[in-house]
Amino acid sequence: MRKKRILLLGERATPGDCACSERLNAMAEFFAQNDFTVDFLSVYNARTTPSEYPNLTYHYLHKTSDRKCSRWRRLLIGLFSFPDIYIRESRTMVRYFNEHLSGNDYDVIVTSTPPHTLQCAAYRIHRMKNIPLICDLRDPWRENHRIRYKSPLHKFCALRWEKIIIQSAAGVVFNTEEGYELFKAAHPEFPPEKGITIPNGYNEKFFADAVRLDAAARAKKPVRIVYAGGSYDGKVLRFLNRLAGRAPEREIKLEIDVYGISPETSPRDAKGVLYGGKVPPEKLAQKLVEADYLFLFMPQLRDTPAFSLKAYAYARSGVPVVYVGQRNMTFDFLNRYSKVRHFSENEIDGCLDWFVSEPHPSFIGIPDENVLACAWDERFRKLQSFIGKVVD
C-alpha cells in the first residue's frame, strides 16, 4: 500500500529558530513517524544535520534570513497587493516545486503561516495539480502584526486574496480559539466542518530524560533564573540587568541564564547575567528543569490574540514562573498549571522579595494530564484525523 504523501510549506525549518519552526518541525516529524512521506519546503533552513527519518526530506530556498527588504520589493507589495513582504519567496517556492517536486503524487498540501503570502504559493500549486489544500493560520490573516496595508485598494486586494484561498481550501486550522472566532466573524459563510483549532504544544520526549537537581544540591547554589526567548527591543535584557544589579542590595545571589539572545543585543552587561545563545529544543528542556525560576516577558500586544509557545514547556517543567508584562491567555494558562506570579515592568523589588522569601522553591513535578495533552504528538493526532476527514 502506498504511503500518503504530504507537501508541507512554511517560512522556517531551522531547529530552535522560532515558534514557527518548532511547530513545523514537530508537524513534519509527526507525519514521518506515522507512515507518511513528507516533503518540507521552507524559505529558510540552516540546519546542519540531515533528517533522521528516511521518509522526511527537507527542501529550502535560502539558508539564512539576513537579506534586506529592498525598496523594489516594497514597491511590489504595494503594486501586487500581497499581505506581506514575501512576494519573491512565494514565486520562487512555486518555481522550486515545478523544477524539483512536481513529479510527486501528493495527497495534501499543508501550509503554515504567517507570512501569509506563502498561502498564495500553496494556492497556485493546489490549482496546478489539483491537490487538496490545508491552511494552518498561526495568526489571523487580517489581525496580523506583519501586515501594514498601504492603501484602501491594497487592503481590498489583499483581503480578496484571503477569500479566494479560504474558499479553495479543503480545511483551515487555527492555533487559538480567539483567532478562530475572529476568522468566523470575518467569514460568516465559512462551513464550520472545514475549520479546527490545533494549538501549539511542546515535545514530551525532550523532557523524558531531563533531570532536576535535588533540594540539597540546589540550596548550595545561587538562585538560578532561566529565560528563553527574544529580546523584545531590549526590554527583556533591561529588566534582567536591573534585576541582577539590584540583587546584591538584598543580599541574594542570582544566576540569570539567557538563551536565544546574544550579549551584543544587550543595552549593557550586568554581573550575574549569562548568555547561552541559541540552544537546540532537545537541550533546552534540561536547562528549564535545572532552574529555580523561569522568566517570561509578555509585551503589550498590538492587534493579534497571541499565546506564547514557551508557556507549554514552562508548564511541563514544573518550575515556578516569573511573569512580567501584559496578562493574557498565556498568563491564564500558566496560572492554571504552574506556580506563577505577575509583575509589571517596574516591579524589580517585587521579584526580589519573592526570591528572598523562597530562594529555592519546591518542584511542582509532572503536571496533570491536561498539560500532558498539550504535547505535539497529541495535537497532531487531532490534525491527522482532521485531514483524513476533509481530504479523503
pLDDT tens-digit map of 9-28: 999 887 666 666 889 999 99
- Fold (CATH) for 205-371: Rossmann fold (3.40.50)
Domain boundaries along the sequence of the chain: 4-201+376-391, 205-371
**What was the pLDDT predicted at 352?**
93
**What was the pLDDT predicted at 267?**
47
pLDDT tens-digit map of 193-222: 999 999 999 999 888 888 887 777 788 889
In the beta sheet, which residues pair with residue 322?
Answer: 295, 341
**What was the pLDDT predicted at 148?**
64
CB burial readout 76-90, b (16+ within 10 A) else e: bbeeebbbbbbbbbb
Look up residue 97 and give its amino acid. F
pLDDT tens-digit map of 151-196: 777 778 778 888 999 999 999 999 888 889 989 998 999 999 999 9
**pLDDT < 50: residue spans in the chain:** 266-267, 303-304
Decide whether 4-201+376-391 matches 205-371 in CATH topology: yes
C-alpha cell at 43: 524559505
Q: What count of residues does the chain have?
A: 392
**What was the pLDDT predicted at 212?**
81
Q: Which CATH superfamily is domain 4-201+376-391 in?
A: Glycogen Phosphorylase B; (3.40.50.2000)
**Integer Cα distance of 39 and 81 in angstroms:** 29
What pTM does this model have?
Answer: 0.84
**What was the pLDDT predicted at 5?**
96
